[in-house]
Amino acid sequence: MNQLDALKQFTTVVADTGDFKQLDAFKPQDATTNPSLILKAVQKADYAPLVKDTVNQFRGRPMDEIVDRLLVRFGCEILSIIPGRVSTEVDARLSFDTAATVARGERLIELYQAQGIHSDRVLIKVASTWEGIKAAEQLERKGIRTNLTLLFAFCQAVACGQAKVQLISPFVGRIYDWYKKNAGATWVEADNALANDPGVKSVAQIYNYYKKFGIQTEVMGASFRNVGQITALAGCDLLTISPDLLASLAATDAPLTPALNAEAAKLAAIEHVSYDEASFRLALNNDAMATEKLAEGIRAFCVDAVKLEQLLLAA
């Protein structure tokens, strides 16, 4: 049994790609997309007809609507291949606007439903700002399931659990990147690998906290840099993995056993915490890594959103 098949025995494997033509090879349960992945996909020649058709069909409509229709078009294609759910992201430029995020999430679901897709098969992806978490809380009350992304800090995870969101996506690789860059010449890779990887430790802390206190929000590790980060989180509820790393897992038959254990977490000595807006903002501010990576991530997705609009204008 290869490691990908072994991993599927105790973790739901999710494909992290907008390139739906790659999905068949790996048989993931779910798939996630984001503005950068969609932008990368639409620049491939294979997708030019789909892009052109969408633009021609809705030419003259507001650009934000055309973008949402393209995202849903990709999502529907993905859902025709996978058995589970697809995550579709709200425009990152709305990350600090609760009402606008709710409205955009509702519209995305309406567009999916117009294509015959049940809302249970879609997760609306929202940045884990305070405003985003509050928007997700409102969407969840309306029966719209959410995936809180760009999550780097423990306080973000706790606030998401309080909001009863469906799923969170803590970013393993980007946490690792920050600590490695910050350490500079003092970084020793062997000392920061597998269970000692700072990104892995962050997800393990969140997973154990959720299981200890019976929080139903699903934990999906994301943003991996190497196979070791994935295997060190085997047993997590879900892991969303790029096609390249899925291929690496499928190419090895090294033994793989769960690294995370829900039953053990229930017995661990973990303190319960909670956050209101003021304490959340202070905790996030006091975490330099999370503050920097959240801001950087939103900026990058905003840039790619603009690039996608420009590409559609030229189509």
Closest listed residue to residue 240, CA positions, set 68, 91, 78: 78
Report the SS3 class of residue 169.
Answer: strand
Q: Which of 125, 211, 212, 293 is catalytic?
A: 125
Query: For this structure, is 125 an active site residue?
Result: yes
- Could you tell me the maximum CA-CA distance found in the chain, to the nearest angstrom? 58
**Dihedral of CA 24/75/227/231: which sign?**
negative
CA atoms within 13 A on the CB side of 210: 32
- Those residues with Cβ within 8 angstroms of residue 125's Cβ, 6 or more apart along the chain or in another chain: 32, 33, 34, 87, 88, 89, 90, 146, 147, 148, 149, 169
Residues tagged active-site: 125
